[in-house]
């Protein structure tokens, strides 16, 4: 795992005097050039020239739901490589610089600059460092203001600092268990399918959203012990995750017709009635197994 602790995942810095990128396809490149020209040739040049500017920083955001997944994946990778690590090690090595800069950012006062003529993507703010006697410029997408980013970065800081690092230990145990399952997969009994031709699988699109969802369901079938409770749970959770779109009665009839399992026809239980920790673990482990084998 690459060391990312010295990178801020939410800022793109362009240090004045440094080498600028030559790729004109970079989204902010044209805006950056306009801004630097504006500072040195416009009415601002005497007071706000690039000679008095430390850097120009373009601000980025990631949807919170997506960011949670990214953080969790990074924790998993880090804990796998450094099994004796603690939360403080992870925060330092992966989010050290990000946290340092975000905490500085949310505690500063900013003054709006506006934008150059014909600039349609970004508007600019600045912070003046009285110790360094330098300007720090910040570019944000037009349509937002600096307060939006201050509030957003406060949320990000709180999310990163309050991660549950110990949870990844359980996930790693599950992955190790899956590796054993995969190793013994050739000896695993598979349920009967409606066709023997793997290249022409009938994945029952009237029941499932995709062929992958059908294949996942068939992996779950050998794990059923209590027909009504287990099939009810697998059905309900897959409906919840948009993997099955059939209503309960058509699903139960399909199960009976395809696999001669008729116990489910009288009643498919509600999710709350059939959920147990064991069923959750079986379902999540089977999903991981399927994803690992098929690189989904």
- pLDDT for the residue numbered 199: 46
Cα three-residue angle 111-113-119, rounded to 5 degrees:
150
Alpha helices in 162-296 (DSSP H): 167-183, 211-220, 227-240, 248-259, 271-274, 277-294
Contact 263, 228 (CB under 8 A): yes
Q: What is the DSSP secondary structure assignment for residue 19, as one 8-state letter?
A: P
Note the pLDDT of residue 25.
47
Instruction: Extract the tokens encoding 149.
Output: 């980013």
Q: Tell me what percent of the residues of the chain surpass a pLDDT of 90.
A: 38
Residue stretches of the chain with pLDDT short of 70 = 1-6, 18-27, 42, 44, 167-200, 292-293, 295-296
Q: Which two tokens stand for residue 160?
A: 């990163």
Domain spans in the chain, listed from the N-terminal domain onward: 11-165, 170-294
Q: What is the pLDDT of residue 286?
A: 83
pLDDT at 36: 85
CA atoms within 13 A on the CB side of 136: 18
Question: What confidence tens digit (pLDDT) does each residue in 1-19 have?
Answer: 455 556 788 998 888 876 6
Residue 101: the pLDDT is 93
pLDDT at 273: 92
Instruction: For residue 172, give the nearest of 89, 70, 296, 72 by alpha carbon.
Output: 72
Question: Would you state the pLDDT for residue 193?
Answer: 46
219-268 pLDDT per residue, tens: 899 888 889 999 999 999 999 999 999 999 999 999 999 988 888 877 89
- The predicted pLDDT at position 194 comes to 44
């Amino acid at each position: 795992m690459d060391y990312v602790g010295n990178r801020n995942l939410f800022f793109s810095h362009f240090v004045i005097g440094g080498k600028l990128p030559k790729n004109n396809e970079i989204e902010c490149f044209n805006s950056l050039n306009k801004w630097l020209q504006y500072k040195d040739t416009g009415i601002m040049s005497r007071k706000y020239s690039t000679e008095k500017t430390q850097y120009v920083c373009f601000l980025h955001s990631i949807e919170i739901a997506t960011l949670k997944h990214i953080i969790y994946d990074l924790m998993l990778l880090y804990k796998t490589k450094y099994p004796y690590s603690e939360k403080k090690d992870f925060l330092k090595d992966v989010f050290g610089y990000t946290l340092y800069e975000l905490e500085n950012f949310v505690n500063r006062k900013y003054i709006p600059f506006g934008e150059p003529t014909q600039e349609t993507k970004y508007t600019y703010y600045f912070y003046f460092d009285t110790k360094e006697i330098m300007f720090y410029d910040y570019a944000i997408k037009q349509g937002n203001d600096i307060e939006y980013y201050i509030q957003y970065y406060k949320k990000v800081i709180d999310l990163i600092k309050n991660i549950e690092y110990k949870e990844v230990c359980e996930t790693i145990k599950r992955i190790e268990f899956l590796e054993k399952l995969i190793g013994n997969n050739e000896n695993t009994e598979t349920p009967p399918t409606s066709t023997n031709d793997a290249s022409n699988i009938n994945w029952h699109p009237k029941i499932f959203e995709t062929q992958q969802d059908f294949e996942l369901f068939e992996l779950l079938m050998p794990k059923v012990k209590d027909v009504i409770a287990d099939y009810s749970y697998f059905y309900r959770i897959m409906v919840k995750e948009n993997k099955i779109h059939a209503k309960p009665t058509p699903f139960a009839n399909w199960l009976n017709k395809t696999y001669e399992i008729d116990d489910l026809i009288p009643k498919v239980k509600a999710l709350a009635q059939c959920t147990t920790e064991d069923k959750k673990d079986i379902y999540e482990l089977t999903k991981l197994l399927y994803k690992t084998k098929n690189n989904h």
